Amino acid sequence: MTSSPVGAADRRGPLRAGDKVQLTDPKGRMHTILLTPGQEFHTHRGIIAHDDLIGRPEGIVVHNSGDIAYQALRPSYEDFVLSMPRGAAVVYPKDAALIVTLGDIYPGATVVEAGVGSGALTLALLRAVGDGGRLHSFERREEFAAIARGNVEDFFAGPHPAWDLTVGDLAAELPRAFGPGEVDRVVLDMLAPWECLDAVSTALAPGGTLIVYVATVPQLSRTAEAIRASGRYAQAHAFESTVRDWHLEGLAVRPEHRMIAHTGFLLTARLLAPGERPLERRKRPQGTEPSAADRAAWESGEVTERSLGQREPTPKKLRRAVRDAGRRGRHLGSGAPAGDPPAPGPGTAENTTGTNREEA
């Protein structure tokens, strides 16, 4: 008999102390709480005792002291990602789903991820590789690594046996972690993925897949050109996804006015066997090659968060995210690192969390 995947048993059966529970009111407002005996969830409209939820089945409707109804469910992957503490912007579930499926990430695979950010994509990758696979994540910033580790332990109710996390530069650390051809898939979510292409190509096994997630057209173009110039990959495929919700109310069935449009570009490419060259596809001419001056202008300047229009999280926000991530793991006794803040007292906002779901 095979063992249950990490976190599987935690998501079945009645609600337990230490579970995260999402409470949704009639207006669709969502609050995530960590069930703790003797504690209470407070809003300006009333109180719900955690003890009224502990031991009861998932999916119940409970009423607070003001007779406001709340639906109680364990958070889904999407719910967790959109409300978890974060330092860096997260990879949306719509993109994580495509990375896992079109990147062909399977149970038992050995996968490398860089950078880890706040850990949203890490959760999807760990679910895909399972307990028998291996995911090794690389992150350059220690505070982002701490946030990601806390979020992973929150989601899986403890450390995941398939996960390793290294703080450092991918190009320098990857050869120390893996020998040539030992990696099945590589997922890059970073500012300048083309700078790591040599190290990635050495670690990937022939036929392995490279998946790149970038935010802007210049990043996509430079990555595609670097892959083509290396001569080691089959034709790269680039795409993006958009999601539009629909309004469902009686006969008023129509698209919603707002939608999740562009979040990032995805690019996939397959590594060829040593010594092989990609096939040149026959196609109609698409204009002239760029001039040396055009190419120099295109490649000039350092790629930074500021140059891409990304907001850098403030030190205060990072400290708060590091503190909040991993609260569930500490509650369940998974081993808090030295220097963690003490657990807040009864009735405080920190203890009841009350986190509204928000968009990344």
For the chain, list residues with pLDDT below 50.
1-4, 9, 334-360
Decide which of 3.40.1160.10, 3.40.50.1970, 3.40.50.620, 3.40.50.150 is the CATH code for 80-279+289-299.
3.40.50.150
Domains 9-75 and 80-279+289-299 share a fold: no
- DSSP summary character for residue 309: T
Q: Where are the alpha helices (DSSP H) in 51-196?
A: 77-83, 93-102, 120-129, 142-156, 170-177
Looking at residue 224, its pLDDT comes to 95
Looking at residue 351, its pLDDT comes to 38
Looking at residue 1, its pLDDT comes to 37
Looking at residue 302, its pLDDT comes to 65
User: Is the bond leading into 158 cis (omega within 30 degrees of zero)?
Assistant: no
Looking at residue 312, its pLDDT comes to 75
Contacts (Cβ under 8 Å, ≥6 apart) of 164 = 134, 135, 136, 137, 177
Looking at residue 90, its pLDDT comes to 87
Residue of 190, 172, 177 whose CA lies nearest to 116 = 190
Looking at residue 333, its pLDDT comes to 63
Looking at residue 229, its pLDDT comes to 94
Looking at residue 112, its pLDDT comes to 98
Looking at residue 314, its pLDDT comes to 80
Write out the two tokens for 103: 């990147």
What is the second-level CATH architecture of the domain 9-75? Roll (3.10)
| Domain range annotation of the chain | 9-75, 80-279+289-299
Contacts (Cβ under 8 Å, ≥6 apart) of 257 = none
Looking at residue 180, its pLDDT comes to 97
Cα dist. 189→88, 102, 174, 325 in Å? 11, 16, 15, 21
Looking at residue 346, its pLDDT comes to 40
